[in-house]
Structure 1
Amino acid sequence: MRIIAKIKRDGFRKTLARRLLKKYSRLRVAIFKEIFSDNKPTLNNTKIVQPTQFVGDGRISADRVRLGYFPSPGLLNGSGYIEARDKNSVVEINESTTINNSFIIIADKSSIYIGKRCLIGPDFFVTDSDFHGLSIEDRSNGNYDCAPVKIDDDVFIGHGVKVMKGVHIGQGAVIGSGSVVVNDIEAFTINAGVPAKKLRDLPTGRYIKGNDAPTKMHNNP
């Protein structure tokens, strides 16, 4: 009966196309997770919409998270990538966070922490590492430092944002599309640019007080 109702609402062609796309995506998700991944992440009620590769010797956990989004650009021709490279490295993504398609999250030698109820746009990149030393003699000898990244609850990140090592993004902050974040971001502020800089403050009254949820934002930043 639900199928008939959908056909009446959306038409036969659109309903069929959506069902085929979802089945194809689910097949790719299974292949990436079971065949292409060498890490066994802890996924508690996490919905993997876009195929995601889980890599590395460290700990990857996601609690009630959505990885990928449908319908949204990049679903069919892209994939997600989460790596906890070192045995002591950690990637942790917390409840009710949505990360749109074609994301890359790499904890090299430390940690990436993403809080609750974050909305993160497509082509998101975050890492705790430069992967190579800056001096010429250190560029290929493994002599480089890493620094943890922490993204607090209710952060809203636009399309194509890069968050670099050692950054702390405060609660409720907004990061504009295409920004490169290399310095800490204050809570409840709007930021954009390369490098990202504060544009103005956000009113905090509509955001979290205690354990209350924030005003609902769009799922496709």
Structure 2
Amino acid sequence: MRLMNFYQQCRIAKYRLLSNCANVEGKPTILQPVHLAGKGTIRFKGNVKLGCFPSAYYLSGYTYIEARTEEAVIEIGDGVWMNNNVAIISNGAGIKIGNRSMLGTHVEILDSDFHDLHPDRRGEPGKCANVEIGENVMIGPNVKIFKGVRIGNNCIIANGAVIRRSVPDNMLAYGNPARQGFGLLQD
């Protein structure tokens, strides 16, 4: 166990050195290597945990969070816990993750197409639209969340879902493309 902890701390230190985002606010608990990149702002509010042990990719993966442009803001709320190998990239519109939300392994959240989709304009920037994830949302492994999506409070996003449309409060979303299932009961 000591050797594993030493190895992980070395990996965390390496990614800290590689990180180049100058505008980082807050201090998350880091259990897995995290690469913070970009010219924008990455804001951790309160008690945020990045990484999970024991879980897949703990010793082999890393979390990647990039606020690519100066106007890009990524805000991660209090009590958020991200599992291993999460990627969050804002190209300018912004990404907000609400309090007490949980993200599984290999979750990707993107606020942009990054490139124009037309073959003659591929070198031009793509369209951006903000992404907002409500409070107390549980996002399963291998989920992809794309630009312009709002996921309401108290939702569950099932393993492998591809979210291209907004999901109202208290719903289950699943599939590719995602469909909305039944409403979730509230206490």
Task: Report how many residues are paired.
Answer: 186
* CA distance in 2 between partners of 1:186 and 1:112 (Å): 17
Is 2:115 aligned against 1:138? no
* CA distance in 2 between partners of 1:50 and 1:129 (Å): 26
How far did 1:22 drift?
2.1
CA distances 1:190-219 after superposition (whole Å, capped 9, x unpaired):
1100111111010122xxxxxxxxxxxxxx
Aligned with 2:60 (options 70, 77, 84): 77
Is the helix fraction higher in 1 or 2?
1
So what's the TM-score if we normalise by structure 1? 0.81
How far did 1:186 drift?
1.1
Is this contact kept in 2: 1:95–1:116, CA < 8 A? Answer: yes
Secondary structure in 1 matching 2:14:
helix
Secondary structure in 2 matching 1:25:
helix
How far did 1:133 drift?
1.0
Is this contact kept in 1: 2:88–2:109, CA < 8 A? Answer: yes
Aligned with 2:10 (options 2, 23, 27): 27
How far did 1:110 drift?
1.4
* CA distance in 2 between partners of 1:94 and 1:30 (Å): 24
What does 1:180-195 align with in structure 2 at a 5 Å threshold?
180-195=162-177
Residue in 1 aligned with 2:137?
Answer: 155
* CA distance in 1 between partners of 2:143 and 2:128 (Å): 20
How far did 1:43 drift?
4.7
* CA distance in 2 between partners of 1:31 and 1:82 (Å): 16
Residue in 1 aligned with 2:35?
Answer: 53
CA RMSD of aligned residues (A): 1.2
Secondary structure in 1 matching 2:100:
coil
How far did 1:44 drift?
2.8
Residue in 2 aligned with 1:116?
Answer: 99
Is 2:179 aligned against 1:200? no
Is the strand fraction higher in 1 or 2?
2
Secondary structure in 2 matching 1:133:
coil
Is 2:150 aligned against 1:168? yes
* CA distance in 2 between partners of 1:91 and 1:44 (Å): 12
Letter in 2 for 1:58: G
How far did 1:119 drift?
1.0
Is this contact kept in 2: 1:41–1:54, CA < 8 A? Answer: no
Give the percent of matched residue pairs that are identical in Structure 1 and Structure 2.
35
* CA distance in 2 between partners of 1:61 and 1:79 (Å): 18
How far did 1:41 drift?
4.7
How far did 1:40 drift?
3.0
What does 1:205-216 align with in structure 2 at a 5 Å threshold?
205=187
Residue in 2 aligned with 1:14?
Answer: none
Is 2:87 aligned against 1:87? no
How far did 1:27 drift?
1.9
* CA distance in 1 between partners of 2:25 and 2:70 (Å): 18
Aligned with 1:128 (options 108, 111, 122): 111
So what's the TM-score if we normalise by structure 2? 0.95
* CA distance in 2 between partners of 1:141 and 1:40 (Å): 26
Secondary structure in 2 matching 1:190:
strand
Letter in 1 for 2:95: I
